[in-house]
Structure 1
Amino acid sequence: MSNFSLSPLFRRSIGFDRLNDLFDYAMQSDTPNYPLYNIEKTGEHNYRIVVATSGFNPEQLEIKLENQVLTITGKSVEEKSDTSVEFLHKGIADRSFKLSLRLDEHIEVQRADYEHGLLKIDLQRIIPEEKLPRHIPIGRKGNELLDSPKTE
């Protein structure tokens, strides 16, 4: 019997569980594996996406948020290759990328920083007051029952 891991389902979503969308996405065979990235929970309502973007400078990177989909794009600058160099192994990726992550409706992008080849995007869950849990009293209001008809 083989083990089945659901962790691939949660790599692409932050802050919510929409299992149907996640299963559909996980079943796609063209899931990108470049660039490498982490999704971190830094507090009760705070998250951070860290994308390894070595070889890119901030001018080559673009972050867009549209319809709750955060898209991070890196555009590689085509440099003329040195014809006197012969690669015995070329493991450093130097290609453009597009990484899309679906965000929950209450997740907001707070800021983005670029340092030491890592793009860091801070997110925060901001829940509107009407969506917060509230205490519902049971039974009495003063000495009277709630919703009980008054008798005269």
Structure 2
Amino acid sequence: MFDLSPLYRSTVGFDRLAQLLDNAGSFEVPAYPPYNIERVGNDEYRVTMAVAGFGQDDITVEVKQNTLTVSGKKADKTEAKTEFLHQGIAQRAFERRFQLADFVQVLGAELDNGLLHIALKREIPEAMKPRTIAVTSGKSEPKVIESKKAA
């Protein structure tokens, strides 16, 4: 366990980051289903998950408070159960969570050949982008005030 108190003393507004670091060692990362996270542009990303055996109606993609949750559950079929001699394709229910950075938006999700692709884009509002502040000197030219003579 790491002591993060020096981080709290020297930063402002990074409470969420510190909480993520605190929680990082406290849980096990599930291995199913496997996934990739790719950078496809400067501010564009894609999460690809291998979800073989799941249809588009079996998968739910939800975003809530900077957390992307992908879950899958096979619909119960009323048909006669098939007897497998070997079942290598896992069809168990899953839930995978991803913490999204601030200003990351989910653009869409597409299921293609057993792979679920989720498109993400970071869109920083104009007010949050860095801006240059002009620096002026402390000395200014004296102002000349015109006065009229009294008559």
Fold shared, TM-score > 0.5 on shorter chain:
yes
Identity of aligned residues (%): 33
Could you say which residue in structure 1 is the equivalent of 2:18?
A: 20
Q: Secondary structure at the match of 2:134?
A: coil
Shift of 1:26: 2.7
Could you say which residue in structure 2 is the equivalent of 1:59?
A: 57
- The aligned amino acid for 2:93 is S
Q: Secondary structure at the match of 1:98?
A: strand
Q: Which has the higher contact order (CA 8 A, sep 6+)?
A: 1
Could you say which residue in structure 2 is the equivalent of 1:98?
A: 95
Shift of 1:112: 1.2
Higher strand share: 1
| Residues 104, 123 of structure 2: 8 Å contact kept | yes
Could you say which residue in structure 2 is the equivalent of 1:86?
A: 85
Unaligned runs of 5+ in 2: 1-15, 144-151
> Residue 125 of structure 1: which of 122, 126, 137 is its match?
122
- The aligned amino acid for 2:51 is T
- The aligned amino acid for 1:31 is V
TM-score by length of 1: 0.72
User: How many residues of Structure 1 are paired with residues of Structure 2 in the alignment?
Assistant: 126
CA distance in 2, matches of 1:76, 1:28: 29
CA distance in 2, matches of 1:65, 1:96: 19
Could you say which residue in structure 1 is the equivalent of 2:3?
A: none
CA distance in 2, matches of 1:151, 1:91: 85
Shift of 1:81: 3.7
Shift of 1:73: 0.9
Could you say which residue in structure 2 is the equivalent of 1:31?
A: 29
Shift of 1:126: 0.4
- The aligned amino acid for 1:35 is P
Unaligned runs of 5+ in 1: 1-17, 140-144
Q: Secondary structure at the match of 1:35?
A: coil
